[in-house]
Amino acid sequence: MIVQPPFGIDSMTWVIGASSIFGYGVMLSDVRVTFPDGSTADLLRKAFPVGPYIAAGFAGSVQIGYRLLSSLQQFLFIPPTAPQIEQLAWQPEWVAEHWAPEARKVFASCAVSEQKLGSRLLMVGVSPDQDMGAPEIRRVYLVRFSSPHFVPGFMHKGLNVAHIGSGSNVKQYTRAFRQHFRYGASSLRTEIGALSGWAQMLGGTADRVTGEHPAQGVSPHMHIIVCRLGDIAEGNNDRRTYMPDGSGPILFEMPKVASSYDEFQRMCRERGSCAEGALG
User: What CATH number does residue 240 fall under?
Assistant: 3.60.20.10
Total of domains in the chain: 1
Distance CA 181, CA 144 (A): 18
Distance CA 221, CA 200 (A): 14
Does residue 177 form part of some domain?
yes
User: Hey, which residues does 60 pair with through a beta bridge?
Assistant: 119
Q: CA torsion sign, 149 to 101 to 158 to 126? A: positive
- At 87 the pLDDT is 54
Does residue 178 form part of some domain?
yes
Closest CA to 14 of 1, 37, 33: 33
Name the region of 100 (left: φ>0; alpha: ψ -120 to 50; beta: rest): alpha
Query: SS3 sequence, 30-81?
Result: ECEEECCCCCEEECECCEEEEECCEEEEEEEEHHHHHHHHHHHHHHCCCCCC
pLDDT in tens, 59-83: 999 999 999 999 999 999 877 776 6
Does residue 278 form part of some domain?
no
SS3 117: coil
Contact 52, 90 (CB under 8 A): yes
Query: Which residues in the chain land under pLDDT 50?
Result: 1-9, 85-86
- At 82 the pLDDT is 67
At 157, the amino acid letter reads K
State the burial class of residue 118 (Cβ atoms within 10 Å of its Cβ: 0-12, 13-18, 19+). Answer: buried
Domain that holds residue 201: 15-77+88-270
pTM: 0.91
SS3 228: strand
- At 185 the pLDDT is 86
SS3 273: coil
User: Hey, which residues does 236 pair with through a beta bridge?
Assistant: 223
State the burial class of residue 143 (Cβ atoms within 10 Å of its Cβ: 0-12, 13-18, 19+). Answer: buried
SS3 149: coil
Centroid of chain to Cα 234:
12
- At 11 the pLDDT is 63
β-pairing, 239-241 with 222-228?
Answer: unpaired
Residues 6+ apart with CB under 8 A from 65: 46, 58, 59, 119, 121, 280
Does residue 7 form part of some domain?
no
